[in-house]
Structure 1
Amino acid sequence: MHSANCPLCQDQDAHNVLWRNDKLRVIDAGEPDFPGFTRVIWNEHAAEMTDLAPQDRSHIMDIVWLVESVMRHEIMPAKVNIAQLGNYVPHVHWHVIPRWPLDSRYPDAIWAAPHERSPEQQLAWDVFREQQWNLQTDYHAALRSALDSLG
């Protein structure tokens, strides 16, 4: 079931879709301060993992683990955060978030308030973030290739 009022139904064919199959899609979340932030989104409405059949739960988690693996290899974050929230949308979806000690919220959750930074710390982050954004084309290509190899 799809809904015109559901933001995750509306963006199923958006430009940020990196890969899709009949069950789910993988998108670039487009978070400016978190280059590489990727979401894995179930296409149909299902609010909880237990709403999915066991084989579908396995399928989505296989994709989440693959995203994490490619992310670690291609952009080498210090840590990867994985979260399943979805309080506002009836779609199971997973956030796969690369983290670095230079990011403004590290080591807290990305949803926490940013930490105060000195001008030098901000400059270091700006340079690092730009370097990470420059890796995104290769990360996306490697991710698509790995996902395509699943068949």
Structure 2
Amino acid sequence: MSSAAPVSACPLCEGDGGLVVLRHEKFRVIRVQGAEAADFPAFYRVIWNSHVAEWSDLSDADQVLCMRAVSAVERAVRDSVQPRKINLAALGNMVPHLHWHVVARFDWDSRFPAPIWAAPVRPNDEARWDLVRQRLS
């Protein structure tokens, strides 16, 4: 089920997808970097290493393993930066390779309470983001 070969046109098969914070034989956890994370420095992904598109492509055991990883990342982020909420999402519309988004949200962030991909409703509070970045380093 989850032994699909890498796909050459898939960015998550061709590269790590961000700063690797944990590497497991079946998945990796990355901290999102660059422009995508500029407004959300506590943005992580749990990426399944094999190229599968859907949650149901995983065996029951692999689903448990993957969700335990997502939960562990969520707990670690909550403990380190105390967000108002953690957003979890597995979309795959842009990159059809199974990955979970784990994003710390704060009631003062530029898009709260809308999704991180929505238009900003207020300016970023860079001083607060700097404190979050310090806690993550």
Task: Give, in whole Å, the separation in 1 of the partners of 2:47 and 2:71.
Answer: 14
Structure 2 residue aligned with 1:104: 110
Q: 1:128 to 1:116 in 2, by over 3 A?
A: closer
- How many Å separate the matches in 2 of 1:15 and 1:85? 17
Aligned to 1:19: 22
What is the CA-CA distance between 1:83 and the residue it aligns to? 0.5
> Are residues 1:84 and 2:90 paired?
yes
**Which of structures 1 and 2 has the bigger CA Rg?**
1
Structure 1 stretch 82-91 or stretch 51-60: which is displaced more?
A: 82-91
Alignment of 1:69 with 2:83, yes or no, is no
SS in structure 2 of the partner of residue 27 of structure 1: strand
Structure 2 Cα separation of the partners of residues 46 and 20 of structure 1: 18
1:55 aligns to 2:61 (yes or no): yes
CA distance in 1, matches of 2:81, 2:107: 14
For structure 1, the 5+ residue unaligned runs are 138-151
Query: 1:101 Cα shift?
Result: 1.2
Corresponding position of 2:131:
131
* Corresponding residue for residue 95 of structure 1: 101
Query: Could you say if the C-alpha distance between residues 15 and 49 of structure 1 is closer, same or farther in structure 2, counting changes exceeding 3 Å?
Result: closer
CA distance in 1 between partners of 2:51 and 2:74 (Å): 24
Alignment match, 2:44: 38
How many pairs align? Answer: 130
Q: Which amino acid aligns with 2:70?
A: V
CA drift at 1:15: 6.2
Structure whose residues are more often helix by fraction: 1
Q: Classify the secondary structure of the residue corresponding to 2:6.
A: coil
Structure 1 58/17 Cα, relative in aligned 2: closer, same or farther at 3 Å? same
Q: Which amino acid aligns with 2:63?
A: R
Q: CA deviation at 1:42?
A: 0.3
Shift of 1:22: 1.0
* Cα distance in 1, alignment partners of residues 122 and 134 from structure 2: 26
User: Residue 86 of structure 2 aligns to a residue in which SS?
Assistant: strand
For residues 16-59 of structure 1, give each alpha carbon's deviation from its aligned partner in whole angstroms, at most 9, with x where no partner exists.
Answer: 11111110000001201111110000011111110000000010
The equivalent of 1:10 in structure 2 is 14
**Separation in 2, partners of 1:114, 1:53:** 39
Q: TM-score, normalised by structure 1?
A: 0.81
